[in-house]
Structure 1
Amino acid sequence: MRDRDLADKTIVVTGASSGIGAVAAAELTARGATVAVVGRSPERTAEVARRAGAEAFLADFGRLDEVRALADRLLDRYPRIDVLANNAGGSWAKRTATDDGNELTFQVNHLAPFLLTGLLLDRLLQAPRPRVINTSSMTYRTAKLDPETANATTGSFSMLGAYSASKLANILFTRELARRTAGTGLVTAAFHPGAVATHVYDNIPFGVGLFVRSPLSRPFFIRPDKGAQPLVHLVATPDGEAINGRYFHRMKEERPRNKQALDDELAQRLWEFSEQITGVSTRPVD
């Protein structure tokens, strides 16, 4: 019988309609947690929730009004939220402007999770041992991030550059969230799940998305069940202080290899920029 060590926890998992989010949702419910499965696809999200014995919530992170509506639904449904797993993400081959006036990759991968975290933060801080876990990527190592440039809707564009910058933003957000909530009991961490065969590759040209999820990809990509392991571990590990504000390459802590990931001034500038764009504000704890 599985250890039901999460029986008193309510956990929100975004990007849970497939891939590591779906696997994590099933594992967390098996360990006793009440899980909110958040996804964009009505059919896949409902099916994942049904199989896991969880509840389904729909939101397209390419629309910030849907993120705000999602937060309202979650706050109405759950008087207590213990963990927010910001796992939703994507990558697009061409620069795309959202209806909110942001660059799509940067909005989906950073601004929307930033907004959702801010809207749920007061409820999270009411929990005994709250956590915010952010899915990042090892691509941050080669990223160059300037918030204004990353969110620009015109100019030169690189698919990998945009994705890696947004994943660096995840790490900076994690570090700054830890700083701003110091002393509140909140624990936050970011992680790279590994090269996982998921729908995140669907928008890469030349049919790469189809290849990634085919048997031919097995020598190059790990399956979602392995990719979900770090997420579940960071949610469940009892030693919160050992993970707070840190980045993990799968199960092992990694001191960031990009000097920008350790730039406290950049982390604060990114936070302030994100507040301006999303309209959500969290004051630092002195």
Structure 2
Amino acid sequence: MAVQDTDLTGKTVVVTGASSGIGAAAAAQLAARGASVAVVGRSPERTAEVAAQVSAEPFVADFARFDDVRELAARLLARYSRIDVLANNAGGTWPERTVTDDGNELTFQVNHLSPFLLTNLLLERLLQSHARVVNTASMTYRTAKLNLDTINAPTGSFKQLGEYGATKLANILFTRELARRTEGTGLTTAAFHPGVVATRVYDTAPFGLRWFIRSPLSRPIFIRPDKGAEPLVYLATTENDAAINGRYFHRLELEPPRNKLAVDPDLAQRLWTLSEQVTGIGSVG
């Protein structure tokens, strides 16, 4: 599928994780189409720099802190009377189990719980705007396991890539459940794998992987952030709502589920309930 050069004049787009990599590239591409873009990032300096480059507004928030997410939502609601696209792109991976100040496992909070919280805090505005919610997932979901009894535990065994894959599976389950709960409202949601992109998400990857990424050997494998942003832009702008709602895309192609857990409705609903309890928020459905 080709990414269309859709005119977004008058539209408001929120991109998290936009201070570098895929998010920054997507912010630039969406702003070039005329959108008013909210650039959300953790680093005040990089966030301001990206926002200035694309004539957008910077919003600083650390997704390892629920208070930051709540403050971000309040600022966005005060600033924008409509939000046409929410791109939940912020994420990361860490080498060991770390507990946030909110009492959650860091990878799970940053990659799933905080995007869940932000989406629900903005949900009324998103519904009013008949918005798109686009979630950056990963092909690592294919072999992932998601045990809701251990995914957010403060102690226990920990495998970095296993935890990351589980949170990316959670992104896909969240997408499917959000689509189910908002069916018929005009809200559309989709998830995607951007491709193998050399971004800051790998800064804390195992040493061997980091060495490979920074070596010339990786160049035939890794794509540029602007290419990685293409699926996000496509899902944010395509007019074919029914074809993408609740679906997962591998780059620009719809992918039939390759992990039975990704289409487990009971797991999706239990994940939603757990996420509500942990974030302290109630929502539709």
TM-score normalized with structure 2 length: 0.96
Give the number of aligned pairs. Answer: 282
Choose which of 110, 115, 118 in structure 1 pairs with 2:117: 115
Aligned pairs for 1:113-262 (under 5 A) are 113-127=115-129, 129-206=130-207, 208-209=209-210, 211-212=212-213, 215-262=216-263
State the SS of the aligned residue for 1:268. Answer: helix
- Partner in structure 1 of residue 57 of structure 2: 55
Contact 1:103 1:150 in 2 (8 A): yes
Task: Show structure 1 runs of 4+ deviating over 6 A.
Answer: none
Contact 2:191 2:249 in 1 (8 A): yes
CA distance, structure 1, for counterparts of residue 19 and residue 39 of structure 2: 7
The equivalent of 1:283 in structure 2 is: 284
Quick check: 2:6–2:237 contact (8 Å CA) kept in 1?
A: no
TM-score by length of 1: 0.96
Match of 1:10 among 2, 9, 12: 12
Structure 2 residue identity aligned to 1:278: T
SS at match of 2:207: coil
The alignment-based identity, stated in percent, is 72
What are the ranges of 5 or more consecutive residues in structure 1 without an aligned counterpart?
none
Unaligned 5+ runs, structure 2:
none
Instruction: Measure how far apart 1:211 and its partner are.
Output: 4.9
Let me know the Cα RMSD of the aligned residues. 1.4
CA contact under 8 A between 1:34 and 1:54: conserved in structure 2? Answer: yes
Give the equivalent residue in structure 2 for 1:271: 272
Query: CA contact under 8 A between 1:36 and 1:57: conserved in structure 2?
Result: yes
Q: Aligned pair in 2 of structure 1 residues 51, 207: CA closer, same or farther (>3 Å)?
A: farther
CA distance in 2, matches of 1:67, 1:214: 36
Give, in whole Å, the separation in 2 of the partners of 1:205 and 1:243: 34
Contact 2:140/2:168, CA 8 A, preserved across alignment: yes
Answer yes or no: is the 8 Å Cα contact 1:202–1:208 preserved in 2: no
CA distance in 2, matches of 1:3, 1:258: 33
Provide the secondary structure at the position in 2 that maps to 1:150: coil
